[in-house]
Amino acid sequence: MHLGIIGLPRSGKTTVFNVLTGEDLPVGPLAARGLYDVQTAVVGIPDSRLDALSELLKPRKTTYAKVTFSDIGGLQVGSGREGLPGPLMNQLETMDALLHVVRVFDEPTAPHPLDTIDPARDHMTLETELLLHDMLTVERRLQRLEEERQKGARDRDLIDREIALFEHLTESLDRERPLRTLDLTIEEGQMLSGFSLLTLKPVLVVINLGEGEEDPDLDISDGVQSLSLQGKLEMEIAQLAADEAQAFLAEYGIEQPGRERIIHSCCDLLGFLSFFTFNEQEGRAWTLRQGSSALEAAETIHSDLARGFIKAEAIAWDELVALGGLTEARAQGKLRLEGKDYQVADGELIYIRFSV
């Protein structure tokens, strides 16, 4: 899972990056990186279920599922009108989802580029830049399709179907509706997979508050979710040792760190679930698309397990904890045997029986 952090200049993107990754990159006036610089870090996905299982089963090490964050610079107001710059597009098109950082905090040393604080306006400004980029992409594709139809370069029925799809996209974009709001079929999604349409990507709006500031009444629609965090405060807490950080979170009334809330919201947004594997050496969490099969889970772990798949043993994590361990679960026949088409549920412990 690769998540790109974008926002208008001085919105606090790097602050949010530091919150999420525990890095200590310069922010505000201290940050002096190139226009299209990208900072990337890989972090473990916090999971109390994995912690509970590791406490019970005591593997030699515990490995969390991973998420990659990239702090992406270079998105300026008006940059979408002529098509986004190549270096910026190279980054945006590889992201599974985008985090739009919008600013609420007031900082006189870093004036807002649009002069006033208006998070709803800033979000729509970002959306407009992505919409303009997609409009150009769709228009160019329709022109090429019309040329292909005239030349008879490939099957006319396929060309007509693609033209109908791109005309449908044009209608949505002309109404200033991002493409993520369309109810596309699986086939249509596959047809669009190579075109780097940015408003197809899921979006989470991160409202960057100052310390003690209240959540603004921000009305965001078009298939977009939002959450708030006190960016500067949580960045400072993220630099502390775990016990100190917990004490400060409690002092400021922060029930769940922004890092955990954002990561878990993105997993939900992208339709990811987690399953677990355990042996004496390692307890590990893996991510998988919701609706994926036991065979796909086996492939996620190792291709040999999928190739020689026989059965999957499965049990819910909390049921295993309540039973007191694998020995008790096996003795009571609680590990279910499932076939390759079984849909893996979130939080299950999976053992793959295989032969190669």
Q: Which two tokens stand for residue 234?
A: 């949580």
Reported as a single tens digit per residue, the pLDDT across 84-125 is 666 777 778 889 999 999 999 988 888 888 888 888 888 888
pTM across the whole model: 0.84
Backbone angles phi, psi at 339, to 5 degrees: -85, 180
Q: Which two tokens stand for residue 293?
A: 């099969």
Q: Which domains does the chain carry?
A: 291-354 (3.10.20.30)
Question: In terms of Cα–Cα distance, which of 341, 271, 270, 345 is closest to 315?
Answer: 345
Question: In terms of Cα–Cα distance, which of 336, 353, 346 is closest to 289?
Answer: 346
Give residues with Cβ within 8 angstroms of 204, minimum separation 6.
97, 98, 99, 100, 224, 225, 226, 227, 262, 265, 266, 269
Reported as a single tens digit per residue, the pLDDT across 158-172 is 888 889 999 999 999
Give CA–CA dist 276/273, Å, rounded.
10
27 contacts 12 by C-beta, under 8 angstroms: yes
Reported as a single tens digit per residue, the pLDDT across 124-171 is 888 888 898 899 999 999 999 888 888 776 778 888 888 999 999 999
Reported as a single tens digit per residue, the pLDDT across 29-57 is 545 555 567 888 999 998 999 999 999 99
Backbone angles phi, psi at 267, to 5 degrees: -60, -45
Per-residue 3-state assignment (H helix, E strand, C coil) for 133-197: HHHHHHHHHHHHHHHHHHHCCCCHHHHHHHHHHHHHHHHHHHCCCCHHHCCCCHHHHHHHCCCCC
pLDDT-derived band at 76 (thresholds 50, 70, 90) equals low
